[in-house]
Amino acid sequence: MASIDPFAPSPLHDLMYGHFHAAALRAVAVHRIADHLADGPRTAEELAARTGTHGPALRRILRFLATRGLFGEDGRGAFRLEEAGRSLVGGAPGSQLASVLLLTDPMYARSADRLADTLRTGESAFDLAHGMPFFEHLLKSPEDRGTFDAGMAAHSGPVEELVAQSYAFPAGARVVDVAGGRGGLLAAVLTREPTLSGTLFDQPATVAEHVLDRPELAGRWRTAGGDFFTAVPAGGDFYLLKHILHDWSDEDALRILGSIRRAAGAGGRLLVVDAVLPGGSAPHPGVELDIVMLMVVTGRERTAAEFESLLARAGFRLDRILPTPSVPSVLEAVAV
């Protein structure tokens, strides 16, 4: 075999350095460097004075991230935000700062370090690294729970309207968003159709921070806290599950679906919003998500056939799969 230059650009080279790119990305996110570039270029020394960081180290990190298109450097040594880096600005429309802080958080990084053990045992890398399941850890760590909720809101926010516009709810329908977080998707759904009413259901601490208190939604929503493994609110015409089933093994997913099947009754409709894997080795963002599921929880991304089988075991018939302009699809099923 011919010798290979380990420094030459290649897929293997990018993978080897991936951890360092993520660490550098986290460093500039923690210190909110992009916020200070939002109104124009600045030198590393100017940025360091504003952020309390070390100028020479900051320059080297920004130069490193510039190779990935997040920043650019001009002739006088001033750095600017490139278009790809603008989503690092906190509070900006579509900001992904909270998502970056979540996915590079030590609770994820420590889990990634245990993937070799997962490969050997099949156990969750998070469980191995932290000594308990992911969601149990979040209940015991309010700070990490806040990081998770904020990251999920940032990660999901941009796709909620895209998902909402991809399904036409009938007028007057009652929608229950199961494990709906702070209610971003439910708000988008209710806003698009003013005759709908909805219930946001999740852990009590999560729904307490809901985003439904808007004038245009007045009188059309309520919140409920509880455990979806035990029961979910009854009386809905439609039940939403956005990015939930992929968090869980088939056995746990069946428990969640069982709660919904009991609440919905025959004829009730379920909308599962998740990535649908194409099968084979075709590139797909869901394949990346699948590794996160393997690493952090006990869940998985699924193919259309796997979803159909899972839903059937829970008493639902998969009627159709609707694509959206984003990664997830909407799988519509009816309780039989």
Q: CB of 304 within 8 A of CB of 322?
A: no
Strand spans (E) along 203-268: 221-225, 238-242
- Specify the pairing of strand 302-303 against strand 174-178: unpaired
Strand-pairing partners, residue 178, are 201
| Residue corresponding to tokens 């309207």 | 161
Give the Cα separation of 118 and 111 in Å (integer). 10
Which helix (DSSP H) or strand (DSSP E) does residue 320 occupy? strand 316-322
Specify the pairing of strand 42-43 against strand 71-73: unpaired
Check 36, 210, 246, 284 and give the catalytic one.
246
Query: Is 246 part of the annotated catalytic residue set?
Result: yes
Buried b (16+ CB within 10 A) or exposed e, 92-106: eeebbbbbbbbbbbe
Q: Which residues contact 49 (CB under 8 A, 6 or more apart)?
A: 55
Partners of 222 in beta bridges: 199
Cα gap 137→19, rounded to integer Å: 24
β strands within 75-187, DSSP E: 78-81, 174-178
- 10 Å Cβ neighbour count for 113? 14
CA atoms within 13 A on the CB side of 2: 2
Interatomic CA distance for residues 136 and 297, integer angstroms: 11
Q: Give the number of other Cβ atoms within 10 Å of residue 233's Cβ.
A: 19
Q: Are 285 and 327 in contact (CB under 8 A)?
A: yes
Known catalytic residues are 246
